[in-house]
Amino acid sequence: MLLVDDESEVIDAIERKINWSELGFEVIGEAYNGVKALELAEKRQPDVVITDIKMPYMNGLELSKKLNNDFPNIHIIIFTGFDEFEYAKEAVHLEIEEYMLKPINSGELSDCLRRLKDTLDKERDEKLNIKKLESYFNDSLPMLQMNFFVSLIEGRIKEAEVSKYISDYKIGLKGPFYCLAIFHTSEHHVPEGMNSLLLAMSVQREIKDRVKDKWSGETFNYLGNTVVIFELEKEEDITPLTDDLDRFCRWAQRVMGAVVTVGVGKCFKNIVEANASYEGAREAVSYRVLFGTTRAINIVEIAPNEQESAATADEMGIHELFKTIRLGQREEVIEAVNSEIDKIRRNAKTVNQYKLAIMEIIGAFYRFCANNVLDFNDYKGDIDNPYEIVPQMDEDTLRTWMTDIATKLSENVKNTRNTTSKRMIMDAQNIVKERYQDPDLSLDIVCSLLGVSNSYFSSIFKKEVGKSFVTYLTDYRMENAARLIIETNEKSYEIASKVGYLDANYFSYVFKKTYGVSPSKFRNDNTD
């Protein structure tokens, strides 16, 4: 429950008079205007918002409209004075749960909350109803479609056969562009009384209801995950798709208790390229160890070239080694090298097989370096021809040589990734410096200019800078506002306009929140 009213006495009275725990609710936040309420709603994800109508900066009806747009699952109760009642009733399109006249009667409010609790319980029961999930499981995709999709991502479908399969199996993939996404539902975070398999199926149903309502494509299960081949109008659509998938992950955790991570592969035009996109998506999911779960991860944003080497490495049976080089710590890289050498020695039946396997690994190192803009000659030591010399090495020398190369590559790849992230952050900060006076400057605009998704940019920005981008932009504007207040005699509304605020009252509110005093008092305190 989130309580919103510009009078703190009203909020205090409501909190005292209502037995929240008995009704099955918990107050998770209070806000004294609509702007702050919107911030709290995004941060705390309440089930219910109780709000007054008349408030500064953003009234209750404006708040309700924004909540309906951004968080359609939140239920809203509006408090209104008698003279506002008819005005509020006209806003039926806002789908307000209930209107209540002031002064609030605790009995009436309690009855309203009981009804609302029943509604919320029914909604959640519907999401996790085992019988319906079992029915959905039994009515899943036909076997022929499943076989086609699995064969497609495993690279076993010939290009000449694709159109026939799509036509015969009534598969609606028309393009013109595609990308493949893997939805991984954690088996270690399952609500009490719920089977992990049924939870995963529930997530898949919500993917069809919520994600595919906007983005068309084909859905199927593979290796315990839900896989979707999305259709895109243009290649650039992969960025807003990633943002929508990121929002879905957060919704699934809040409403269903499911921890979902989505890996997004590279965009492609020819459907037979689904295999490469799948490998990229699988790599992206594995990056949850670095970037965290409950989010969407786009492989092109985090590792623009690495997905190519991942597919090659997989073909040669050393996928895990290169995955560890990209993601693992030094000890894990050493262990992966030893494991790969042990596997080669165990599987090679003849000397020629052993030498061929070693040469394949050398070739994989060359390709890995090329895909990551590195020169293998800088890592191979004083060996002129590795293809000739390395297969002749004894076991200890081979382990030392490969370990040295793998650990150095791992360190440099991580450094390159960090440098790319820092460069992106610097570009974003420069955009703020150049355009902070523009009131339309926002997270969406900056991400669009940088060509990255909101999800990826936000996580990297906060990790590097220590604060969210929105907070950074606000702080930068406030620093410039403080400077103008001290150095000029301009009015507050003039300064507000110069630092990107169209509403002088809201500017004063943000300034006081930042510095603890109003702009006028700040000037008096600093110009004596």
Which CB contacts under 8 angstroms, 24+ apart, belong to 94-99?
Answer: 94/61, 94/64, 94/65, 94/68, 95/68, 96/64, 97/48
Best CA proximity match to 453, nearest among 308, 327, 294, 300: 300
Q: What does the buried/exposed string (b/e) look like for 191-216 if buried means 16 or more CB atoms within 10 Å of the residue's CB? A: eeebebebbbbbbbbbbeeebeeebe
Q: Is the pLDDT of residue 138 over 90?
A: no
**pLDDT band, residue 308 (cuts 50/70/90):** very low
Least confident range of 84-88, 385-389, 520-524:
84-88
CATH of domain 436-526: 1.10.10.60
Q: Is the pLDDT of residue 23 over 60?
A: yes
Q: Is the pLDDT of residue 432 over 90?
A: yes
Decide if 84 contacts 99 (C-beta within 8 A).
no
User: What values do phi and psi take at 263, rounded to 5?
Assistant: -100, 130
Q: Please report the pLDDT score of residue 312 as a whole number.
A: 39
Least confident range of 24-33, 46-55, 245-254, 353-362:
353-362
**pLDDT band, residue 485 (cuts 50/70/90):** very high
Largest Cα–Cα distance of the chain, in whole Å? 92
**380-420 pLDDT, tens per residue?**
888 889 998 998 887 888 999 999 999 999 888 877 767 77
Q: Please report the pLDDT score of residue 311 as a whole number.
A: 39
**pLDDT band, residue 316 (cuts 50/70/90):** very low
Least confident range of 321-325, 439-443, 490-494, 517-521:
321-325
**161-210 pLDDT, tens per residue?**
888 888 887 788 888 999 999 999 988 888 888 888 899 999 999 998 89
Q: What angle (nearest 5°) sits at the alpha carbon of residue 420, between those of residues 416 and 425?
A: 145
Q: Is 401 helix (H, G, I), strand (E, B) or coil?
A: helix
Q: Please report the pLDDT score of residue 326 as a whole number.
A: 80
**3-17 pLDDT, tens per residue?**
999 888 888 988 999
- Mean pLDDT for 260-280 is 92
Strand order in the sheet with 2-4: 29-31, 2-4, 48-52, 75-80, 98-101
- Mean pLDDT for 75-90 is 70
Q: Give domain 2-127's CATH architecture.
A: 3-Layer(aba) Sandwich (3.40)
Q: Is the pLDDT of residue 133 over 70?
A: no
Mean pLDDT in the chain?
Answer: 86
Amino acid at 55: M
Best CA proximity match to 453, nearest among 324, 218, 267: 267
Topology of the domain comprising 143-302: Alpha-Beta Plaits (3.30.70)
Q: Please report the pLDDT score of residue 367 as a whole number.
A: 85
Q: Please report the pLDDT score of residue 78 as a whole number.
A: 87
